[in-house]
Amino acid sequence: MSTNKIKSLVIAGGGSAGWMTAAMLSKLFSPAIKIILVESDAIGTVGVGEATIPAIKNFNRMLGIDEADFLKFTKGTFKLGIQFDNWGKVGDSYMHAFGRVGNSIAASSEFSDASFIDYWLKYKQKYDSSDFWDFSLNYLASKDNKFCDETSYAYHFDASLYAKYLRELSEKWGVERVEGKITNVKKDERGFIKQLNLESGKEVSGDFFIDCTGFRSLLIGETLGSEYEDWSHWLPADSAIAVQSSSTKQPIPYTRSTAHKVGWQWCIPLQHRVGNGIVYSSKFMDDDEARKTLVDNIDGDLLTEPRVIRFKTGMRVEPWKNNCLAIGLASGFLEPLESTSLHLIHTGIKRFVKLFPSKENFHKERTEYNSQTNNEYQRVRDVIILHYYLNQRDDSDFWIYCREMDIPESLKQKIETFTRTSRIEQKEGDMFSKRSWQQIMLGQGITPNGYHPIVDLMPESQLEKVFAQMREKIEMELENLPTHQEFIDSFCKADSY
């Protein structure tokens, strides 16, 4: 029985994926399982991945990380949501805010089957100027550059410092780090990986291997030939240019995503600098024009040389193949419009721990892992496609293509149901809440034609009173909040910039 247990795990790659995996597995299994991480300083990491979603807090909490200490170290800021500018039409702006929008009217009354949006849709029939986001504390706080940690929030941080922070923890918990370039991967007669050969001549053996080698996919792709499902017909962006700039003002508590003629630009404020980048399709715009668009839309001085990154959107059909699991960019890529990649790393690790295999006979666990991961990626993919598909822009062939493309059936149905009824169909384990879907669809121009009929049972006078009270309460909450900068200064100001 015990001879079948995994005794050694080898992680190839030391970017965010490698060190997040190393930290969690060493926290849980070290020293019972020996964990080795191989990374190459000469190759380096992708060096982006600085905006997150609220679940990152659970990941850090599981590692026992002190929030203030971590934010000081990574020069992090807080994130209450993502502002999308120019996504519907040029000039439009809306926010995908984390946290509640409105109170649960249903819970406080007998009208328990409808959600906030149903009541709001009826309310809006009378008060046309009412805005959905008037009832989101995160949205209102963002607009006032305020912050409070009693609502739902995530972080912006320096990706390389996050990896460094996790490396320190992992090494403390027993991970052995090996520096060197992997030049060959040896398999046994079954096709299982048994050894990594490094340029230095060193050999690293293990029972199970985790491929965190980024876009290179050295183990799962190059060595084991796990097929890559290409989604670029739905998400035609294939390039990004990233650059860091100096801060010109206090950091805003949200990520900005501004759509351009061919793609979009991110702006991620940290304590000491701003992370910027443009995502575009090289079929519709060349690198020089993309670089110019990016740089023309940055306020501060450039601190780094703009760097082009190529990618193909999609995923490995089998992110776990034989005795190898892919985590991070090695397993797939979805552009960072909703800051989901680090979260997919988190859920991948969590899923693997749940289904933790023995050395052999893990067919069932592997099948389950691959099926769950495929479903999760597809659901995130649909949210990203939604942003592009629901555009009304006519300033380039790119946007027209996105609007006219045939979208996945799963997404078609979601849009149809929301448009007809305001209902969001969800499946267990969906990463995006109903509120997220509602905000994106409303923000990009869909107003549902109907709401739940139970709403009509509430007398109009009561409906108006409930909405007035909600506004009053949220305005009071807002008034008492510190500014984002004040909160950072008192809680997690970095020692040096």
Positions in the binding site for ligand FAD (CB under 6 A): 13-18, 38-40, 43-46, 48-52, 159, 181-182, 212-214, 216, 218, 240, 242, 277, 309, 311, 328-330, 336, 339, 341-342
Least separation in angstroms between residue 446's CB and ligand FAD is: 26
Residue 24 main-chain phi, psi, to 5 deg = -70, -45
Least separation in angstroms between residue 452's CB and ligand FAD is: 35
* Residue 112: CA count within 13 A, CB half-sphere: 4
- Would residue 321 show up in a list of annotated catalytic residues for this protein? no
| Cβ nearer to ligand FAD, comparing 148 with 252 | 252
**Region of residue 100 (left: phi > 0; alpha: psi -120 to 50; beta: else):** beta
| Cβ nearer to ligand FAD, comparing 213 with 391 | 213
- Kindly list the strands in the beta sheet with 193-198, ordered across the sheet, starting from the edge strand earlier in the chain: 182-187, 193-198, 203-205
| Cβ nearer to ligand FAD, comparing 51 with 137 | 51
Least separation in angstroms between residue 425's CB and ligand FAD is: 26
| Cβ nearer to ligand FAD, comparing 39 with 118 | 39
d(CA 10, CA 435): 40
d(CA 44, CA 236): 27
| Cβ nearer to ligand FAD, comparing 23 with 212 | 212
Least separation in angstroms between residue 492's CB and ligand FAD is: 20
Amino acid (1-letter code) at residue 181: K
d(CA 171, CA 23): 8
d(CA 434, CA 431): 10
Catalytic position from the list 79, 122, 146, 414: 79
d(CA 262, CA 398): 6
Identify the DSSP state of 236.
-
- Nearest to 464, CA basis, from 129, 126, 221, 211: 126
- Nearest to 384, CA basis, from 469, 316, 313: 313
Least separation in angstroms between residue 346's CB and ligand FAD is: 9
d(CA 421, CA 449): 6
Least separation in angstroms between residue 198's CB and ligand FAD is: 7
d(CA 90, CA 87): 7
Least separation in angstroms between residue 345's CB and ligand FAD is: 6
| Cβ nearer to ligand FAD, comparing 40 with 223 | 40
**Residue 238 CB partners (closer than 8 Å, separation 6+):** 232, 281, 282, 283, 310, 311, 312, 313
Amino acid (1-letter code) at residue 418: F
Least separation in angstroms between residue 137's CB and ligand FAD is: 23
**Residue 56 CB partners (closer than 8 Å, separation 6+):** 154, 155, 342, 343, 346
| Cβ nearer to ligand FAD, comparing 117 with 204 | 204
Cis peptide before 31 (omega within 30 of 0): yes
Are the beta carbons of 364 and 74 closer than 8 angstroms? no
The runs of H, that is alpha helices, within 276-389 are 287-296, 341-354, 363-389
| Cβ nearer to ligand FAD, comparing 329 with 440 | 329
Q: How many CB atoms lie under 10 A from the CB of residue 416?
A: 11
Q: Catalytic residue numbers? A: 79
